[in-house]
Structures are given as C-alpha cells and as structure tokens.
Amino acid sequence: MSADAVPGLVAVLLVTVATLAIGTWGLRFSRTTSDFFVASRSVNPRLNASAIGGEYLSAASFLGVAGLLLVGGAQMLWYPVGWTAGYLVLLVLVAAPLRRSGAYTLPDFAEARLGSRVVRSACSVLVVGVGWLYLLPQFQGAGLTLESAIGAPRWVGPVIVGFVVLINVMSGGMRSITFVQAFQYWLKLTALLVPAMVLLIVWVGDGRPAGGGAGEGWSVPVAGGGAIGLYTTYSLMIALFLGTMGLPHVVVRFYTNPDGRAARRTTLVVLALLGLFYLWPPVFAALGRIYGGDLIDAGHSDVLVLELPRLMVDGIGGELLTGLVTAGAFAAFLSTASGLAIAVSGVLTQDITSRFVGEHGPTASVASAFRLAAVFAVSVPVLVALFATNVGVAQSVGLAFAVAASTFCPLLMLGIWWRGLTDAGALAGLAAGGLGAGGAAVLNVVGVQASGWLGALLTQPAAWSVPVAFATMVLVSLATASRAPAHARRFLVRLHTPEVLERPETVRGTRTGSEPARRSSSAAGEARTRDARIETQ
C-alpha cells in the first residue's frame, strides 16, 4: 500500500469504528419489538431530521451530484433541487396523515386503508424492490471510493459496507441506527464543507479564471437535446419530486415521530439540512471544470469529490483533505444502506421471516426474524453490486425514485385524499406503474441501451409511468366502486384530524406509542390486533 492511501484507510477505519461504537451504545435503548421497528415512536424532530438527512444523503448525493454537474453542467442541478423539493411535497400532502395512520410500514398502511391482504403483499414486493434498487448504488459507490482512496479491489467496498450495516441493523434496529445516522449527517456535511472552503481559497490564490474548460451550454439549466432533452429533464423532475414520498427508508422515519405535528416539524428541519448540504457539490463541480478535466476524459466523474483535493493541494494537506472526504463518502454509504436495510428488513420480518422463526413467540423470536430478514435484505444487493458495475451511481438512484413515484406516490396520494380508492384500483395501479418503471429500471441495470426516444423513455420513465399509474388507479377504482372499503370515510377522518382534537384516551395512546388507540374501522382492527400482539411480545 502506498503512503498516499494511508489517510483514506485511516478515515475508513475511524468511520467504521465510530459507526459500530454508536450503534452499540444505542443498543442499550432497544428493549422492545417497537424499538426495532419504529424506535417506539418517540424520536424528537431535531434528532429525527438529522437521522433522515443522514440516510437520505446517499452515494448519489455525496459523489454523484458533483460528477453529474462536472459532465452535464447546470441541467444536472435538477437532481439536488428535486431531492430537496420532494420533501416539500411530502410535508404538504403526506407527512402528518401518514403518521396518524399508525402503520409500521407502507404495506401496513395499504392494508389498513384498503382492507386487502393482496394489496399488502404487492406493496411488500415493491418495498423490497425499491429498497434493493436503492441499495445497489450505495454498494457500488463504496467500491469506487475504496478503489480511489486506498487502491482496494472494487469488490472490497460492497463487502465491507454490507458487513458493517448488518452488524448495526441486527444489533438494535431502528432505535440504535437513529443515533448512527444523525452522527453521519453531520460528518458528511463537515466532509464536504471544510474541503470546499479550503479549495475555494486555493483557487482564489491560484488566480485561474472561472469556468475554464466549460463547454457550450454548461451553465444552461436545460441544455440541448431538443424535444428529447426537454422530456428527460421534466421526467427527471417528476421522478424526484414525487418519488421521495415512496422511498421506504424515508417513509418509515415518519412512523418514529410521536405525532403528526412532530412529523411536519421534522420535515421542515430536513428541508433546511438538505439545503445546507446541497450548497457544496456544485462547488466541487465548478472547481473540477478548472482542475479536473482529465477525470472527464477518463470517464471517472463519479470520483471527482475524492480526487479534487489531491489535484489542487500538494503534499500532506491534500492527503488530509482526501481522507476527510473519504470518511464522508464512506459514512454516506453506511447511513443510507442502514436505513434501507431497516425498511426492507421490517417488511420481510412481518411478511416472511416471522413465519419461519415463530410469529407468536417471545420478543427474542421477533428479533431473530428481524435479523434473518436483515441478512437477506443486505446480501442480495451486495451480490448484484459485485457483478453489475455498468450503471452510474446517480442514475441508479434516479431509477429508484422513478419506481417509487410510479407506485407508492399514487397509492399514498389517493389513499390519503380520495375516499373512492378501491383495492382493485390500487392493485391495478401498482402493477401498471411497477411494471412500467420497474421494467425500465431492470433493463438499465442489466445494461440494455437504446438511442433516441426509446432510450429516453427507458432511462427516464417517470413522465409516462406516473400518469399511467394514477390513471389506472382512478379508472379501475371508479369501475369497481362497489369494492370501496366501508371504513374509508372514518379512516380518512382519522388521517386528517389533528391530535389535539382527538379524545383524551386517544391522545394518551399516541403519547405512549399505543397505536391501537388510534385505529378505527374493521380493516384497521386487524392492524390493531397485530400491533397488540407485537407490543406484548
């Protein structure tokens, strides 16, 4: 190993040790099954917002945004804008009602709203699919980071990140991982902010002109491409704006809030934290246009953040800055992968592994089922990442957003705001959106390439798959109006009634995390029974 690799190796080891230490410390707070799944619904907004920032700012944000801006210019700013604006849509339309639903997972919400086990099963499959599609770029990014920072083989990154994530997730579930992800947000912010400020000072002292090497249209928000360029831009915006509410690791975080008001406050803080973070990747991209032209020519734009400090600062200073950004990148993979593993494991535990371990057993049995699910949730995308290396980090995340926007977004929007949604309509819409956007995502992952309009429709499917999913849900629901759940009106009243207006016993149930006091309707009665069983295990 060369001397240049030592700072990166030290940074990776320190982040790994800190992550495991905080996770182990948080383990002492994880005593019940509810702690594993939703941290007993007691996480305050500031801590929850930091944890959301930690898991949401993934490899695509830390590495991918700067690389996309380096190559594509200002039109790629739609990625950070869309990822942030998605939380505004979530705040206005979904956050508080979803928390009041009392669900543990998205499949729980679907079953309580529609009273259908079939819809629940379809949602479970989609949660796992979206989670794996989002986990893939985290493991790929880890391989890129360790290869660039310490010269390790590409397979080392996915294996190490998968191993550390498994230990953290299996040890204490949601309760312990909350502390880990909050720490990792501030580490990631520091790892971008400090080097960016130093590099800006170096650039000012160097006297190089701004925009050196920038191509024509690099500063135009929607540059070139004609009708196809406009389509891909608007399709990307639709995917990012609407996909946030359908990401399983984001949605599950709102179940950890004490009530709907706390969920809204959490979302506001998240918007501020994301806005602060996304100020800095464009700085790296702009400086990369001046100092990192070789990265563009070599097709290594994804490692711009890791390589730029060495290109601009000689000696030990550049190596220390490289070590810091390496630490931030590694934290990005760990935090996002941990959140996704928690979300996917929760669904697999409720619907699959608990049947093998013993659904009606003691708390130890539920914990064992959760840990078995975690192994399955992490190992599959690790194996895929070891073989599928031809998909860009940010592109993979964009496809995950497109699938989420085409499936869970229509389900949540119509399920929360329209009484006429039926189980048949929901199932048809999930199938239409999932097969459309999901099929396009699979074709991209396996390396199928096309040019012209066909290529645009496959790489950015949201512009057609989201309207198809919405229209299918509405039309099939209207055609099957007789299947509308009898409890739909009462359930929607519950979703939109502020906690301060509820009965005192309901409010007491909310404060103590006793969700059965918050449920109504026959379908929700099944969820109430399941919650009671879980809480008494």
Q: What is the DSSP letter of 209?
A: P
Q: Which of 36, 461, 476 is nearest to 242 (CA)?
A: 461
Helix axes 393-417, 226-243, angle to 10 degrees: 60
- d(CA 80, CA 332) in angstroms, rounded, equals 15
- d(CA 79, CA 250) in angstroms, rounded, equals 17
Three-class secondary structure of residue 369 per DSSP = helix
The pLDDT of residue 476: 97
**Cα 222–chain centre separation:** 26
Name the one residue in this structure whose structure tokens are 């929700």.
524
Name the one residue in this structure whose structure tokens are 């990625």.
79
- What tokens does 191 get? 């790892």
The pLDDT of residue 37: 59
The pLDDT of residue 145: 79
What does the domain layout of the chain look like in residue ranges? 3-390
- Any residues with CB less than 8 A from the CB of 188 and at least 6 apart, and which? 54, 57, 62, 277, 328, 331, 332, 335
Q: 274, 83 in Cβ contact below 8 A? A: yes
- d(CA 149, CA 14) in angstroms, rounded, equals 14
Superfamily (CATH) of domain 3-390: Sodium/glucose cotransporter (1.20.1730.10)
Q: CB-hemisphere CA count at 13 Å for 418?
A: 20
Three-class secondary structure of residue 82 per DSSP = helix
What phi, psi does 393 have (nearest 5°)?
-60, -55
Q: What is the dihedral of CA 462, 464, 466, 472, to 10 degrees?
A: -160
Three-class secondary structure of residue 260 per DSSP = helix
- d(CA 93, CA 96) in angstroms, rounded, equals 8
Q: Which of 342, 12, 32, 421 is nearest to 168 (CA)?
A: 342
Instruction: Tell me the per-residue pLDDT of 378-427, one tens digit each, with 9 for 90 and over.
Output: 999 898 888 766 555 666 777 889 999 999 999 999 999 999 999 999 99
Instruction: Please report the sign of the dihedral spanned by the C-alpha atoms of residue 130, residue 135, residue 100, residue 117.
Output: positive
Q: 318, 199 in Cβ contact below 8 A? A: no
What phi, psi does 438 have (nearest 5°)?
-65, -40
The pLDDT of residue 211: 55
List, as own/partner pairs, every contact residues 5-11 make where C-beta atoms lie below 8 angstroms and the sequence separation is at least 24, other chains included.
5/149, 5/150, 5/151, 6/319, 7/319, 7/320, 7/322, 7/323, 7/326, 8/146, 8/149, 8/150, 8/322, 8/323, 8/326, 9/149, 9/150, 10/323, 11/149, 11/323, 11/324, 11/326, 11/327, 11/330
pLDDT < 50 positions in the chain: 359-363, 503-537
The pLDDT of residue 474: 97
Q: What is the DSSP letter of 42?
A: -
- d(CA 94, CA 86) in angstroms, rounded, equals 11
- d(CA 410, CA 466) in angstroms, rounded, equals 8
The pLDDT of residue 27: 62
- Any residues with CB less than 8 A from the CB of 430 and at least 6 apart, and which? 119, 122, 123, 126, 407, 411, 469
CA distances from 390 to 132, 141, 414, 520 (A): 16, 12, 36, 48
- d(CA 51, CA 145) in angstroms, rounded, equals 23
Name the one residue in this structure whose structure tokens are 């849509």.
89
- What tokens does 430 get? 């999930």
Q: CB-hemisphere CA count at 13 Å for 527?
A: 30
- d(CA 441, CA 447) in angstroms, rounded, equals 10
DSSP result, 299-337: T-GGGHHHHHHHHHS-HHHHHHHHHHHHHHHHHHHHHHH
CA distances from 136 to 51, 57, 143, 214, 374 (A): 21, 15, 11, 31, 15
What phi, psi does 158 have (nearest 5°)?
-60, -40
With vertex at residue 91, the alpha carbon angle to CA 87 and CA 94, rounded to the nearest 5 degrees, is 105
- What tokens does 515 get? 């969700």
